[in-house]
Structure 1
Amino acid sequence: MELDNLGIILVTFTFVPLILCKISKAAKYYIKMVFYSFSLILVSWLLIPVFLLRPKNVKNLLIYANMVKHLTIVLGIKWTLRGREHLSQNKPCVLIANHQTCLDALGIYRTRRNTGEIHAFKKGAFYTAIHHQVPIIPVVFSSYRHFMDHKKKVFDEGEIIINALPEISTIGLGIKDIDDLMERTKQQMIDVYDKISEEVSEKSK
């Protein structure tokens, strides 16, 4: 009897969400968001021991991203990473990424809001990079707007391109150079963001 009840529970939690996803876009949105959020928490907990053994190692980001990538296949999300070599270096750096939603829960310092453009950065990341004389590595995520819309409760299938750019040196720079460094970094990211966002948008048509 207990096995029968367990079977009913498993079927319910497997097929009911699938059916709801087929008949309601809003249900599909919420089910996918819950699944993804739970996956992030699970992966984070599983990797805590690894990160404690490898503190401040930029390759931890690749391990985390690789695990999340496989989990999000269930959501119909395809991740394409470009410039992996820039994230595989064994030296300290500051990562700057254009954070849009919880889907890109990666990176250290980020500029927020999913409005289809890259907004002004916070200066903290640049102070840190200059103070420690370590390079900045920009990481650009393509727009999600072709498959995700929080206001309309839409979460369809789609592709996300992550493009890690060559490092930007801060050697010899001082506090007076922060604004120029921020502008140079932002412009590089905008150019790549526009290009890869157009690419994924064209593929989705």
Structure 2
Amino acid sequence: MSASYFEIFFAAFILVLPFLYESSQTFRFYVKFFAYYIIVSFNAVFFIPVFAFRPKNVRNLVVASHICKFISPLLGLKWIIRGRDNLEKERACIIVANHQSSLDVLGMFDIWPIMDKCTVVAKKELFYAWPFGLAAWLCGLIFINRVNSGKAREAMNTAGEIVKEGKIKLWVYPEGTRHNTGTIHSFKKGAFHLAITAQLPILPVVYSQYYFLDEKKRVFNQGKIIITTLEAIPTEGLTLDDLEDLMDRTHSAMSKVFDEANKEVHQICS
């Protein structure tokens, strides 16, 4: 008899889920993020033994992206890619991108096959978020200790040598933390310091604002995002005396594209 009551309760719960999903933005918010993290974790478990055959190979990320691309349409997200030619070139460079949410990774899944060889600078704590952290390590992600500036600088210098030798793109979020506030916040110096010392070009990538997402109000609706890759900014001949100017020029160029893309994406979705 108890089993029957359980079955009735479970059936009623399943039936009410679609209603809750459509009627409650908070419920929809948590369901979408739960699905996102569960699917990524499941894929990580699946890929770990595959990646173990060629550990720390950045092309593992291309393999993962082909499988993980389906997450975006499942969540109601569509990525519009601009400036593909700038991403396709085989060259070592420092990609700097604005950082708005953990959803940024889903956009990267769409462009990793275009970039081919690219790795990411990530905070060390992410490595311990297994199984994702282990899979990311096997894909060649570079983890830095943001608390210890000396070790962080050493890791970045090592990363510079790796990308130069292998003609790999190094993806960095120079804002440091996530901001979905309708503006690109000030940059930290690490990526630009590395670009100058290693004489590697800066390749700016701009995500339009996540107007469909509000984590404070627990809103996660359908949405479109424009990802624009700008022309590379050369650093040949620059010294650390030019650091601030390089940061300002990059921030200014990205902010201009960010504002333009925001206007366009709102027109597309209105």
Question: TM-score by structure 2 length?
Answer: 0.63
Residue 20 of structure 2 is matched in structure 1 by 20
2:243 maps to 178
- CA positional deviation for 1:148: 1.1
1:127 equivalent to 2:193? Answer yes
C-alpha spacing 1:96/1:175, structure 2 compared with 1 (3 Å): same
Give 3-state SS (helix, strand or coil) of 1:33's partner. helix
Find the counterpart in structure 1 of residue 86 from structure 2.
86
Please tell me whether the aligned partners of residues 32 and 75 of structure 1 are also in contact (alpha carbons under 8 angstroms). yes
- Checking the alignment, whether the CA contact within 8 Å between 1:56 and 1:92 is kept in structure 2 is no
Query: Whole-Å Cα distance in 2 between the matches of residues 109 and 51 of structure 1?
Result: 25
Measure the CA separation in 2 of the matches of 1:175 and 1:202.
41
Which structure is higher in RCO with an 8 Å CA cutoff and minimum separation 6?
2
In the alignment, the residues of structure 2 paired with residue 158 and residue 32 of structure 1 have an alpha-carbon distance, to the nearest angstrom, of 13
Alignment of structure 1 residues 24-173 onto 2, 5 Å: 24-44=24-44, 53=54, 67-105=67-105, 106=108, 108-110=171-173, 111=175, 112-145=178-211, 147-173=212-238
Per-residue deviation, 1:32? 0.4
Q: Percent identity among equivalent residues?
A: 39
Alpha-carbon distance, 1:85 to partner? 1.6
Q: Which runs of 5+ in 1 are unaligned?
A: 1-7
TM-score normalized by the length of structure 1: 0.82
Deviates more, 1:150-159 or 1:45-54: 45-54
* Structure 1 residue 91: Cα displacement: 1.5
Structure 2: unaligned runs, 5 residues or longer: 1-7, 109-119, 121-170
Q: CA deviation at 1:12?
A: 9.0
Deviations 1:48-107 (A, max 9, x none): 6569859675x7766655544322101111111111121122111111000001110246
Instruction: Give the CA RMSD over aligned residues.
Output: 2.8
Q: What is aligned with 1:4?
A: none
CA–CA separation in structure 1 for the residues paired with 2:249 and 2:256: 11
CA distance in 1, matches of 2:52, 2:263: 35
Q: What SS class does the counterpart of residue 92 from structure 2 fall into?
A: coil
